Amino acid sequence: MPLVQLIVLAIVQGVTEFLPISSSAHLILAPLLVPGWDDQGALIDVASHVGTLLAVLVYFRSETLMLVRGGLDAVSFRPSDDRKLFLQVAAASVPIIIIGGLVAATGAIDALRNPYVIGVASIVFGVALWHGDRAATTKEGLDRISWREALAIGAAQLLAIIPGASRSGVTMTAARYLGWSRQEAARFSMLLAIPTILAVGGFAAIELAMEGTNEDFRAAAIVLVLSFLVAWGVVALFMRYTQRMNFTPFVIYRILMGVAVIGLTWRFGLTV
Within a 13 Å sphere around the CA of 81, how many CA atoms are in the beta-carbon half? 8
Q: Give the chain's domain count.
A: 1
The predicted pLDDT at position 69 comes to 97
The predicted pLDDT at position 210 comes to 74
Task: Give dist(CA 170, CA 124) in Å, integer.
Answer: 11
The predicted pLDDT at position 272 comes to 56
Task: Give dist(CA 32, CA 84) in Å, integer.
Answer: 44
The predicted pLDDT at position 165 comes to 95
CB burial readout 249-263, b (16+ within 10 A) else e: ebbeebbebbeebbe
How far, in Å, are 68, 155, 208 from residue 190 at the CA level? 16, 15, 26
Whole-prediction pTM: 0.91
Which residues are bridge partners to 180 per DSSP?
139
- Chain-centroid distance of CA 258 in Å reads 18
CB burial readout 92-128, b (16+ within 10 A) else e: bbeebbeebeebbeeeebeebebbebbbbbbbbbbeb
Give the residues of the chain that fall short of pLDDT 50.
Answer: none
Domain limits at 177? 3-268
